[in-house]
Structure 1
Amino acid sequence: MDDMSENAKSEQYQEKTGRESNPIGVAAVILLLCICFLIDARVGFGALIGAAAGFFAWSLLKDNGTRKEENADDRVAFLDTTVLQHNFPLPQNMPIPYAVLDIRGHILMYNEKFAKEFPNMELILPVVEQLKKAGIGKHAVVVVEEKHYDAMLNQCEVVEENGAVGNVLNMTLVDISKQYELEERLDRNETVIGMLFLDNYEDVMDSLAEDRQPLLSAIVDRKLTQFAADANGVMRKLQMDRYILLLSKGDLETLKEKKFDIMNTIREINVGEHIPVTMSMGVGIGGGSLEDAMQSAKAALDLALGRGGDQVLIKEGEKYLFYGAKAGEVGRNGRIRARVKADALWELMGASSSIMVMGHRNGDLDSLGSSMGICAIARAMGKKCRIVMNEVSTGIKCISEQMAQDEYYQTAFMKEKDALKEMDDKTLVIVVDTHRTSMVEGPSVLEAAKKIVVFDHHRKSAQDFIEQAVLLYHEPYASSTSELITEMIQHIGKRIKLRSIEADALLAGITVDTKNFAVKTGAITFESAGFLRRNGADSIRVRMLFQNDIDSYKAKATAVRDAELYLGSMALSVCPANRENSTLTAAQAADDLMNVTGVKASFVCCKVDDVVYVSARSFGDVNVQRIMEKLGGGGHFTVSGAQLKDCSAEEAKERVRSAIDEYLKEETT
């Protein structure tokens, strides 16, 4: 029994290690050992030890080789679909497509539902690649022949009877086409709200004879009602110049494709000699409720009016889409509004403990002139007003030197860090010539202020505007902020007496932003200039503020000489870098390039330290504001700019070209 057991063990061991008796080999080894012993006993013992060592080493190597072969056989067997099916049976009655793949993504097995859904296996290969990119265990929506599937790859182990372990991937696909179609239908049927406003309704009516006014009103109502009906929407009139529109999101897409041609339809209405009627519209989408959509529509309309009117803005979350804006700012009779703002400013200044005024970084004559106008109002009520300015830019160096000789303004300037020390809860901070938080001279002062007033004339930015202002006077139709401040000074009355340097600064601010009264001028612009002239402003002194030294004049001439025409009508140039007043020189070069025949817009870049400044100009055929906004800047329809960091002037030119291409593509599609 024991012998049989031992024999069995021996056989098992031999089987396991692969050692089998070889009589011829054994006899040869014994004969060789005998010969060695006959020659010399020491040689015989050495041969015996060597034979024994070789025998055991050969056995060990053979055993390791056998194991490797067994493992290799396991892997090969694991990739064998037949073996896999035996160890991993597929659930054929599963109601969704299901497949098993190897680690490399090759399909090994699949159920009947999978075969029925995907008779062409080539269609599933991109799906596998998409799921592998998404990651194991991650859901992904895939599209196969217009069908939508919620698909996922999972990894699992399969253990065979011989103990071999391997990994496979199983793929499941759930058809969500009907769900997707329903969600898409619900999204298209979502109600959106539009708020319409006739920008210049009162001015148009004033320009018409009384018997023609009802006719114009009736035609506008009929056009808007037809516009709503064509869009499968509902239009209701709220006031003489305000309407509300309800329509579906899907129908809004149709209006987008038509680029809201209702604006052109309204503008072309003619019932006699009158200025064209323009309209603005804000559209609110989403938010989860009609109330949220209404708030979005109101915000979009406010932004449209803040950008000059005659345009449509669509607001969906934090995203804005712009349509129109092909005309300049719409001027309105703002005398009553200016008087109301002047009274409100007087009250706020009177209730404050101290007043601080600041413009934008790299201040110009408009920001400094309007700041000095605020100082004049503060002086009239017996309050000290300080101007927050960290550095004096080259554009205002001349007038700042004159201010240093004036007794009142010798201590008017203060740096941002010093302003923070003097502020309290009743300090009134007035921001002029900008409405963007990122552009103010002292961001920390703005953040610390409890009461903020904003005066600006730039077209409103889609983001980054100062929202916490208790008083906002933002009129994009105005030529300059200096014009707005001058207008308020007139409404406050004789209580304010301007010093000659203040009148010069305000007139200089108007002059620089109107390009010597050539652009963006209205009746109020000339009235303001006349008021300043009567209060001590001198046009000769103002003109001297714009004088350049000979090096700056040569730099401007170089920029004009080296200009290139892009697309035949866009003038692009680079101003020599790091001059004393490069930014001002670049702006003047951009102005001069507009005197070239055929030029519709000009763009001049100049690098100062690590920042490239871009000055953009046009006569209205090209909306340079929208182009500069693509570069993070802004401004007006015809006068705009941007600041680009971490790039060269030539790289900035390339970015301007890309922005122009993008703008023109939007205009033509």
Structure 2
Amino acid sequence: MKIETIPLVDLLKEEKGSILIASHESPDADTLGSALALYIFLKKKGKNVKVGCKDKVPHFLDFLPNAEEVIRLPTNEVFDLGIVVDASGFYRVGTEVKAIRRVRIDHHIGGEFYGEFDYIDHSAPSTASLVYNLLKYWDKDSIDAEIAQCLYAGLATDTGFFRYSNTTAEVFEMAKELVQLGADPHRTFVMFSERESLNKMKLISKVLDTLVCYEDGLIAGITIFDRFFKETGTEYSDSEGLVNYPRSIEGVEVAFALIEKPEEGVFKVSLRSKGKVDVAKIAERLGGGGHKYASGCKIKTSDYQHALDMLLSAIKEELYSALSS
């Protein structure tokens, strides 16, 4: 990814006021790793900066450097500059953000645009890779081991620990550089993937009982009802990654997880593709978005069957459109 100029760097260099870096709700490693990396870097540059999220830092990300400094949003403070990372817009923060100017750093297709300082590249493997480019362009010597660790976590997880189709030679080169700067690949994998609780294992057991295949096995999905969290003593964040179970079935082209969120009156949807179907188009049909291989949306209904019917209808339309072409 050749970088000739990043206008956002000039904006940040000149910013004298308060800055908020916001992750999207239900944070993953790319949004939180990117936010924390930029936060640590800007602090080193003497900026008045905070990092925030609507939700508390989930267990699988609490190892990220400075994670304990993430503030809960909303806050009454009005920031001079708000930066949302790894999100198609500030609406993905899930709560109000008070900022005079707004900027977006992201690798999703489409979404909201706030002006010339937005740093968006949908060809990038992760938002962490964009933040890395931004920091290198500004001052590579200021990228320390903590910043590298945050960025590596975002890059590694958004490429499926270097297994997904967005894993390129450039990705490996970037990972190499981050490791040389102090990132720890083994610790990242262990802390992210091998610290599951017994309660989460019980949750997975319940969820797998809901697994159903449709359309002769081309579609597979699971449902995570709110009662499952209560019955197993788990939290919403424990549903992270469960969509990969139906995705792993041979012959499946589109996998989904339908997650009940009664406090919002919605069912949240996570979508995954093996490659032939662009699940971002499915999510867009339902008011969401994301990437070709991983996307999501929310269906505004408390009726499970209605949510499932809407989801399956959108999946089938895109599935057969893709297969026919």
TM-score scaled by structure 1? Answer: 0.44
Give the residue type in structure 2 aligned to 1:562: T
Q: Cα deviation per residue 1:66-105 (whole Å; 9 max; x = unaligned)?
A: xxxxxxxxxxxxxxxxxxxxxxxxxxxxxxxxxxxxxxxx
2:220 is aligned to: 571
- Cross-structure match for 1:439: 92
Task: Tell whether the 8 Å contact from 1:575 to 1:582 is kept in structure 2 after alignment.
Answer: no
Determine the C-alpha separation between the residues in 2 that align with 1:442 and 1:349.
Answer: 24
Which structure would you say has the larger Rg?
A: 1
The match for 2:286 is 631
Superposition pairs of residues 113-262 of structure 1, within 5 angstroms: none
Three-state SS of the structure 1 residue aligned to 2:67 is: helix
Maintained 8 Å contact 1:604/1:615: yes
- Whole-Å Cα distance in 2 between the matches of residues 625 and 395 of structure 1? 28
Runs of 4+, deviation exceeding 4 Å: 664-669
Is residue 489 of structure 1 aligned with residue 135 of structure 2? yes
Once the 2 structures are TM-superposed, how far is the Cα of residue 433 of structure 1 from its aligned partner? 0.5
Residues 647/392 of structure 1: CA separation in 2 closer, same or farther (3 Å cut): same
- Which residues in structure 2 correspond to 1:564-603 (within 5 Å)? 564-568=212-216, 569-577=218-226, 579=229, 580-582=234-236, 584-585=238-239, 587-603=240-256
**Partner of residue 548, structure 1:** 196
Please, which of 207, 211, 230 is the counterpart of residue 559 of structure 1? 207
Q: For residue 526 of structure 1, what is the aligned residue in structure 2?
A: 172
SS at 1:484 equivalent: helix
Deviations 1:277-320 (A, max 9, x none): xxxxxxxxxxxxxxxxxxxxxxxxxxxxxxxxxxxxxxxxxxxx
Mapped to 1, the partners of 2:64 and 2:319 lie a distance apart of 41
- Residue 626 of structure 1 aligns to which amino acid in structure 2? K
In structure 2, relative to structure 1, the CA distance for the partners of 1:414 and 1:640 (3 Å cut) is closer
Taking the aligned partners of 2:300 and 2:97, their CA distance within structure 1 comes to 22
Per the alignment, do residues 557 and 623 of structure 1 end up closer, same or farther by CA in structure 2, a change over 3 Å counting? farther
The AA in structure 1 aligned to 2:123 is Y
| 1:456 counterpart = 2:92 | no
Cross-structure match for 1:399: 63
Measured in 2, the distance between the counterparts of 1:375 and 1:459 equals 24
Which residue of the partner structure matches residue 376 of structure 1?
40
Across the two proteins, how many residue pairs are aligned to each other? Answer: 312
Q: Match of 2:308, SS?
A: helix
C-alpha change, 1:399 and 1:645, in structure 2 (3 Å) is farther
Match of 1:654 in 2: 309
Name the structure 1 match of 2:122. 476
Task: Look up the match of 2:76.
Answer: 418
The verdict on how the C-alpha distance between 1:599 and 1:552 changes in structure 2, with shifts beyond 3 A counting, is: same
| Among candidates 512, 525, 533, match of residue 157 of structure 2 | 512
Q: Distance in 2 between matches of 1:492 and 1:535?
A: 16
Q: How far did 1:535 drift?
A: 1.9
Counterpart of 1:637, as a letter, is K
| DSSP-derived class of the 1:385 partner | strand
Query: Match of 2:219, as an amino acid?
Result: M
User: Which residue identity is paired with 2:221?
Assistant: L
Q: Which residue of 2 aligns with 1:255?
A: none
CA distance in 1, matches of 2:72, 2:238: 24
- Change in CA separation of 1:443 and 1:401 when aligned onto 2, cut-off 3 Å: same
Distance 1:415 1:656, change over 3 A: closer
Determine the C-alpha separation between the residues in 2 that align with 1:372 and 1:629: 29
Q: Secondary structure at the match of 1:589?
A: coil
C-alpha distance after superposition, 1:251-291 (max 9, x if no partner): xxxxxxxxxxxxxxxxxxxxxxxxxxxxxxxxxxxxxxxxx
Residue 351 (1) aligns with residue 4 (2): no
The alpha-carbon distance between structure 1 residues 492 and 350, as it changes in their structure 2 partners (threshold 3 A), is closer
1:346 partner amino acid: V
Contact 1:364 1:393 in 2 (8 A): no
Name the aligned partner's letter for residue 167 of structure 2. T
Task: Tell me which of the two structures has the higher relative contact order, counting C-alpha pairs closer than 8 angstroms and 6 or more residues apart.
Answer: 2
* Structure 2 Cα separation of the partners of residues 627 and 384 of structure 1: 40
SS of the counterpart of 1:417?
coil
Deviations 1:314-369, CA, capped at 9 Å, x for gaps: xxxxxxxxxxxxxxxxxxxx3224xx11xx33321122122211121222221111
Q: Does residue 619 in structure 1 map to residue 274 in structure 2?
A: yes
Please provide the CA RMSD for this pair: 2.5
User: 1:361 is matched with which residue?
Assistant: 25
* Alpha-carbon distance between aligned partners in 2 of 1:441 and 1:577, rounded to the nearest angstrom: 19
- Confirm or deny: 8 A CA contact 2:148 2:179 kept in the other structure: yes
Tell me, yes or no, if the aligned pair for 1:611 and 1:646 is still in contact at 8 Å.
yes
Q: Deviations over 1:422-445 (max 9, x none)?
A: x3xxx2221210132421355442
1:593-632 alpha-carbon deviations (Å, 9 max, x no partner): 2221111111111213333221111121111111111111
Partner of 1:654, secondary structure, is helix
Provide closer, same or farther for how the CA distance between residues 649 and 552 of structure 1 changes in structure 2, counting only shifts above 3 A: farther
Aligned counterpart, 1:125: none
The SS at the match of 1:588 is coil
- By percentage of residues, which structure has more helix? 1
Q: 1:444 to 1:485 in 2, by over 3 A?
A: closer
Structure 2 residue aligned with 1:335: 2
% identity of equivalent residues? 25
Name stretches of at least 5 consecutive residues in structure 1 with no aligned partner: 1-333
Kindly indicate whether the alpha-carbon contact (under 8 Å) linking 1:457 and 1:477 is maintained by their aligned counterparts in 2. Answer: yes
TM-fit CA distance, 1:665: 5.6
What are structure 2's unaligned runs of at least 5 residues?
Answer: none
Q: Look up the equivalent residue of 2:223 and give its one-letter code.
A: V
Distance in 1 between residues matched to 2:65 and 2:13, nearest whole Å: 30
- 1:629/1:640 Cα in 2 relative to 1: closer, same or farther (>3 Å)? same
- Would you say the 8 A contact 1:503–1:535 is kept in 2? yes
1:5 paired residue number: none
In 2: Cα distance, 1:583 partner to 1:612 partner: 15
How big is the shift at 1:636?
0.7
After superposition, the C-alpha distances for 1:26-61 in whole angstroms (9 at most, x for unaligned) are xxxxxxxxxxxxxxxxxxxxxxxxxxxxxxxxxxxx
* TM-score normalised by the chain length of structure 2: 0.86
Q: Deviations over 1:162-187 (max 9, x none)?
A: xxxxxxxxxxxxxxxxxxxxxxxxxx
Match of 1:128 in 2: none
Separation of aligned partners in 1, 2:72 and 2:224? 32
